[in-house]
Amino acid sequence: MNGENTLKPRITPLTLLLQAVKERMSRVRAKILVISGKGGVGKSFISSSLALALADLKYSVVLLDADLHGSSIPILLGMDNVKLYAGEKGILPATGPLGIGVVSINLMLPEPDTPVIWRGPLKSKAIIELLAKVHWGDRDFLIIDLPPGTGDEALTIIQSIHGLNGALIVTAPNILSEVIVAKAINFLRRSGIKVLGIVENMSYFKCPETGKVYYLLGKSSGEELAEKYNTPLLAKIPLDPSIPEAIEKRKPYYVLYRENEAAKAIRELAEKLARELLS
């Protein structure tokens, strides 16, 4: 038996892909996951608006929509007719509002409503290929919008991107149950990913006429949760009827309503993250 050969690491296409991911990702200064224990809390809205707010602060940003089944980033940004093309250095992110780069499997499908029917291992392979083949370029931030829960996509991304700075946990008052937040926090901690903090979405509604504050989804307990899990409560984002309205118009809320309270809260979140991660 030739001992020398058996000791050599086998170069498989997967290891080559992972190497390519490592090289490409080393050119992105801060890489942030946006995750939640449950669906429909506003992850995609927060990740797309955060990417726009960072671009507004003059950072170079690329946004990855890693929700293969429920992709909504292209709709939130009014880019559902856009396609991704390959250039000399790899697949080129589409250019979105305020110049952000946008990468989504949905932008690679022949029709946006083509269902993605990959199962577990195929899905992981698709994500790794995407990470390896996109020309992410030299960026200040990569924001990754994950599907709800703690499944295959989240795990694959965590395992293939080295140097992730951490994750934002998005939650909302009505589902601020400890179990759901705990599930996301435990998943991250077990995977060795730093919890950057909690972002509470749909926290309250402020009547534009009277200024009175209503807790439509229940009284928030973000502060208590943050204390219990020893992580900061980074932002409280109010309910704003202009958000679904902007989505219906296929225009990004952050661009249309930059001075609204929810947009300002997201901008403050962007400033905090830039201070913490880039200084």
Ligand X SMILES: Nc1ncnc2c1ncn2[C@@H]1O[C@H](COP(=O)(O)OP(=O)(O)OP(=O)(O)O)[C@@H](O)[C@H]1O
Residue 123 binding partner per list ligand X, Mg ion, none, with a CB distance cut-off of 5 to 8 Å that depends on partner kind: none
Out of 53, 91, 202, 269, the only residue in the binding site for ligand X (CB under 6 A) is: 202
Closest residue by beta carbon to ligand X: 39
Interface with Mg ion, residue 48, by CB under 5 A: no
Would you tell me how many other CB atoms lie within 10 Å of the CB of residue 250? Answer: 14
Site size for ligand X (CB under 6 A): 22
Give residues 83-122 in contact with ligand X (rule: CB under 6 A).
Answer: none
Report DSSP letters for 46-93, one per residue: HHHHHHHHHHHTT--EEEEE--SSS--HHHHTT-TT---EEETTEEEP
Give residues 178-197 in contact with ligand X (rule: CB under 6 A).
Answer: none
Minimum CB separation of residue 266 from ligand X in Å reads: 10
Q: Which stretch binds ligand X (CB under 6 A): 52-60, 66-74, 99-107, 178-186?
A: 66-74
Interface with ligand X, residue 247, by CB under 6 A: yes
Q: Which two tokens stand for residue 216?
A: 């439509």
C-alpha 192 chain-centroid distance = 18
Tokens 């890489």 identify what position? 31
- The residues near 241 (Cβ < 8 Å, ≥ 6 apart) are none
Q: Where are the alpha helices (DSSP H) in the chain?
A: 3-7, 13-25, 43-56, 73-76, 120-133, 152-160, 178-190, 222-228, 242-248, 253-256, 261-278
Out of 67, 140, 152, 153, the only residue in the binding site for ligand X (CB under 6 A) is: 67
Out of 18, 33, 44, 161, the only residue in the binding site for Mg ion (CB under 5 A) is: 44
Binding site residues, ligand X, CB under 6 A: 36, 39-45, 67, 70, 72, 147-148, 201-202, 237, 239-240, 243-244, 247, 262
